[in-house]
Amino acid sequence: MNSFTTMRRRYPLVAATMRRRRYPLVAATMISALAVAACGSSADATGAGEVDSEALALAQSSVDAARAGTEFTDPPAAGPAPKPGVNVWMINIGLASPGSELWGEGAREAGETLGWNVTVYDGKYEPFRWIEGIQQAVAADADGIVLAAVDCASVKAPLEQAKAAGIAIVGISAADCSDIDEGAPRVFDGDVQYVTGGLKETSKSLGATQADWVTATTDGTGKIIHVTYNESPQNNWQVAGFNEELAAVCPGCEVAKEVDIVTTDLYGSALREKLEQALLQNPDADAIVVPFDDVMTGSGGSAAINAAGRRDINVVATGGSSGAAFQEIREGTGTDALVALSFQWEAWAAMDGLNRILNGEQVANSGLATQLVDEGNAEGIEDYYQPPIDFRAGYRKAWGR
C-alpha cells in the first residue's frame, strides 16, 4: 500500500485537504515527510493526548508550504473593457481598522485605473450606518456597491432596494444571505474568489493553517486558548476549519479554553480582561489562536499577554494589514505568526468583479492566496502585508490600462 493510500485511510480530511483544498503543489513533499515519520510510528491509531508523528509531520509540511507562499496565481489575464463613468459606492464596515482602510484605498486606486467614480462610505462599525450608506448609494444612482465586511443579513432590506434599482452588488469578506441560510435567495451578484474558493472555503483554510502552525509549534501537544468571534459568519467558518484540522493533525492537542468576544469587546478594556482571566485560569496553556490581528495589536490582546508575564506563549492570528503585528512577530511581544492576506488585492478583485458583472460576465478567480508570516520571514514587512505577485499590473493589463 503506498504512502498516500495509507494516509487517506488514517486521515481522510487531511488527505482531501492536501489534494484539493490548500497545497496541491507540495503533495509530494508532504507524502515524503509522512513516509519518514511512519518509520517511527505505530501502525495503530494514536490515542487522545498522545503525539502522532505522522500527523505532526504533515502539519509541519503544511506550515512550510504556507510560509513559502507558492499558491498565488496571476489575476485573470483578460477581461471586458471598462464601461465609462461608472459610479461605485463601497460600504465599509468601519475605516478605523487598518484592514478596512486598505480596502478603501484599494477601491479608490482600482477605480482611478478604471476611470470610475468611487465613494468609500465609513460605516463606523454601526449597522444603522451601513443601512444609511446603502440608501445613500441608491439615492446617488450608483451602478455598483461593494460591501466590505458588511454581511447581507445586517442590511438585507436596503440591499433588496438596491437590487430593485438595478445596482450590482459585490462582497469582500462579506457573507451573502444564502451563505448562512441555504434556502435563502442569493442577494450578491458576486464576491471575491480566491485560489481556495469563495469566502467560506477560504475562511476554513485560514483556520486550518492556524491549526497546522499550533500543532507544529507545540510539537503536537498544544494546550490552546481559542479566541472566537461568533458574531461573524466568516470567523465561524474559520473556527470550523481550525477544529477540523486540529482533530486531524493533533490528537495530542486540547482547546483548554474558548473565549468568545463580541464587537464591543474590541474597544476599551473588555477583551484584555477576558484574555487575562483565561490566562490566569489556564497557566499551562502554551498557544493562543485569535480571529484577526487587531485582537492583539489594537484591542488589548498583546497587553494581556505581557501583563500576565506570558510572552512565551505562542500566538497565531490572521490578517496582514497591521504593521504592528509584524513588529510584534519580529520582537516577540505578542503575535508570533499571522496567516496573511492582501486587503488591497481583495479590493482590486472586487472592482474587477463589478466590471465583469456590469458587462454581463461572471466574477473571475482573483488568484489571491494566503501566506504564513512568522519570525522566519517577517523581516522587512513594515506597514502591511505585500503579496509576492504584482496584482495591480495584472489587472491593468486585463483592463487594457
Amino acid (one-letter) located at 387: P
Give residue-wise pLDDT tens across range 56-77: 999 999 999 999 999 999 999 9
Q: What is the mean pLDDT of residues 73-96?
A: 96
CA distance 95 to 99: 8
Residue 115, pLDDT score: 97
Number of domains in the chain: 2
Strands (E), 134-174: 144-148, 168-172
Judge whether 357 lies within some domain: yes
Whichever domain contains 14, its CATH number is 3.40.50.2300
Judge whether 384 lies within some domain: no
pTM over 0.85: yes
CA distance 328 to 53: 31
Judge whether 352 lies within some domain: yes
Same domain, yes or no, for 217 and 349? Answer: no
Q: Cα-flanking dihedrals φ and ψ of residue 280, to 5°? A: -65, -40
* Residue 365, SS3 per DSSP: strand
Give residue-wise pLDDT tens across range 335-360: 999 999 999 999 999 999 999 999 99
Q: How confident is the model at residue 49 (pLDDT cuts 50, 70, 90)?
A: low
Same domain, yes or no, for 63 and 206? Answer: yes
Judge whether 321 lies within some domain: yes
Give residue-wise pLDDT tens across range 141-195: 999 999 999 999 999 999 999 999 999 999 999 999 999 998 899 999 999 999 9
Whether residue 10 is predicted with pLDDT greater than 60 in this model: the reply is no
Q: What percent of the chain has pLDDT over 90?
A: 81
